[in-house]
């Protein structure tokens, strides 16, 4: 943009507040606008209530030059966006015959008669530009106010909103405000470190770098480092991002496992292929999650040989050869049993590598000495067997996910360690 233009997104719908519908529209809008050099400053969500819609619109217009709303343009009584916008802007609604006819034709093309309540979708605020919707019945609105600010309303259905945004809204915004340059971003992914510890390592870069900017996002078992740059050209943006990424990589080293859409299992699969190594997995508390992640990739049959979910002690003994006396002495959730699981799995499957995972996912089963979240992960190779202890703090699903993440990271680090040695 030639000058600073602040954009606010309004997502409208009670179902969003109740968590019944996931708000994917905001992410799409933010990414599409960033690519066009338009920066989003705020996002608000409001239910299907005319007074509250007017209130959030009023607040948005005090601080933003562009307000983009999605949702609430349907034909039912609780679709109040158009009415609320007209009331807040002091504009009357009028029946647009062209819009009404397009809705009728859409129903007729399907052999249906248009219900009378669809006429609501043809009630357009005075002075609004209608944005045709070839994918649905609800038209969009583009309103340029007397003070130069812009209000946009689009359907909430993603399949209708997305083409309207990219094909009609963004070109109009570019004409209105002179969009130039672009906002580019890149995500580096780290695991095996807490967010606070990572902040200590790169915190000075975060404080002193304003373009690109650095942000941290924590997920179970991994941290995303988001780099965002605003430049006039893609080449300048790539140069700045590459320079900052190099500085971060120098500090974090092997803590970084991937970039952008790359997942940990993608990296592990590639390393296994490069090393020409095979893997088998014995799982207890993770219930097959590690196997699922390793095999949820094209070509995984080249390295994944076998997996066993050994929940019971009998399964650990019968399928993997874990000695019964070992379980009796140390318990199923213990380092000796995890070591025996990995070694037994490698021997049974005849693979280069094997993982053994046992733990207490919760919500029950924990004790004072073995609390919920206690997990042991072992890896077996021709070098022998090693094991690590973890104590996760989460619910059952989070503990299982984190255990699978740490298991894959143990495998990744093992492969990296032996990469230059030429053997695992």
311 half-sphere exposure, CB direction, 13 A CA radius: 4
pLDDT averaged over every residue in the chain: 93
Sign of the CA dihedral running 143, 145, 148, 153: negative
* pLDDT given for residue 215 in this prediction: 87
Give the residue extent of every domain in the chain. 7-177, 182-259, 264-417
Classified as helix, coil or strand, 263 is coil
List strands edge to edge, sheet with 213-219: 213-219, 222-231, 182-190, 256-259
Q: pLDDT grade, residue 98 (50/70/90)?
A: very high
Tokens of 20: 């019944």
CB atoms near residue 407 (< 10 Å)? 29
The class (CATH top level) of 264-417 is: alpha beta
Mean pLDDT for 191-195 is 91
Whole-angstrom Cα distance, residue 330 to residue 301?
35
pLDDT higher than 90, residue 377? yes
Mean pLDDT for 172-185 is 76
CATH architecture of residue range(s) 7-177: 3-Layer(aba) Sandwich (3.40)
Decide if 65 contacts 72 (C-beta within 8 A). no
Q: Is 323 exposed, middle or buried (0-12, 13-18, 19+ CB in 10 A)?
A: middle
Q: What is the CATH number of domain 182-259?
A: 3.30.70.2860
Decide if 202 contacts 251 (C-beta within 8 A). yes
Residue with the larger pLDDT of the pair 210 and 99 = 99
Decide if 223 contacts 195 (C-beta within 8 A). yes
Q: For a pLDDT cut of 90, what percent of the chain falls above it?
A: 82
pLDDT higher than 50, residue 1? no
Task: Please write the tens of the pLDDT for every residue from 255-265.
Answer: 999 999 999 99
Distances (CA, A) of 218 to 195, 196, 256: 7, 10, 14
* pLDDT given for residue 180 in this prediction: 60
Whole-angstrom Cα distance, residue 335 to residue 357?
10
Highest mean pLDDT among 33-37, 126-130, 236-240: 126-130
pLDDT higher than 80, residue 175? yes
Let me know the angle formed at the C-alpha of 212 by 211 and 217, rounded to the nearest 5 degrees.
130
Q: pLDDT grade, residue 373 (50/70/90)?
A: very high
pLDDT higher than 50, residue 370? yes
- Residue 309 CA, chain-centre distance (Å), reads 28
């Amino acid at each position: 943009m030639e000058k600073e233009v602040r954009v606010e997104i309004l997502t409208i719908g009670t179902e969003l507040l109740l968590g019944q519908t996931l708000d994917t529209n905001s992410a799409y809008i933010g990414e599409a606008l960033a690519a066009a050099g338009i920066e989003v400053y705020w996002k608000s969500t409001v239910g299907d209530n005319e007074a509250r819609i007017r209130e959030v619109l009023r607040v948005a217009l005090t601080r933003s030059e562009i307000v983009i709303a999605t949702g609430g343009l349907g034909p039912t009584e609780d679709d109040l966006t158009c009415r609320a916008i007209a009331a807040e802007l002091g504009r009357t609604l009028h029946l647009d015959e062209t819009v009404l006819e397009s809705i009728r034709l859409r129903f007729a093309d399907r052999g249906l008669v248009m219900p009378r309540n669809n006429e609501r979708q043809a009630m357009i605020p005075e002075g609004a530009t209608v944005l045709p919707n070839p994918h649905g019945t609800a038209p969009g609105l583009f309103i340029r106010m007397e003070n130069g600010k812009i209000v946009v309303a689009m359907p909430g259905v993603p399949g209708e909103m997305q083409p309207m945004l990219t094909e009609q809204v963004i070109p109009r915004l570019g004409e209105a405000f002179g969009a130039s340059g672009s906002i580019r971003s890149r995500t580096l992914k780290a695991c095996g470190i807490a967010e606070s510890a990572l902040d200590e390592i790169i915190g000075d870069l975060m404080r002193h770098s304003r373009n690109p900017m650095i942000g941290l996002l924590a997920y179970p078992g991994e941290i995303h480092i988001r780099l965002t740059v605003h430049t006039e050209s893609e080449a300048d943006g790539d140069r700045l991002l590459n320079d900052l990424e190099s500085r971060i990589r120098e500090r974090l080293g092997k803590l970084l496992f991937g970039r952008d859409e790359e997942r940990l299992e993608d990296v592990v699969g590639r390393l296994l292929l490069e090393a020409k190594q095979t893997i088998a997995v014995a799982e207890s508390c993770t219930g097959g999650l590690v196997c699922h992640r390793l095999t949820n990739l094209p070509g995984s049959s080249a390295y994944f040989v076998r997996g066993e979910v050994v929940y019971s002690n009998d399964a650990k003994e019968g399928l993997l050869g874990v000695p019964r006396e070992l379980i009796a002495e140390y318990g199923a959730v213990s380092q000796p049993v995890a070591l025996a699981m990995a070694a037994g799995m490698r021997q049974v499957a005849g693979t280069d590598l094997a993982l053994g995972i046992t733990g207490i996912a919760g919500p029950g089963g924990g004790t004072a000495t073995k609390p919920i979240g206690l997990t042991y992960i072992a890896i077996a190779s021709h070098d022998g067997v090693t094991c690590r202890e973890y104590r996760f703090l989460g619910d059952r699903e989070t503990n299982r996910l984190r255990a699978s993440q740490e298991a894959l990271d143990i495998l990744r680090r093992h492969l990296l360690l032996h990469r230059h040695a030429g053997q695992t």
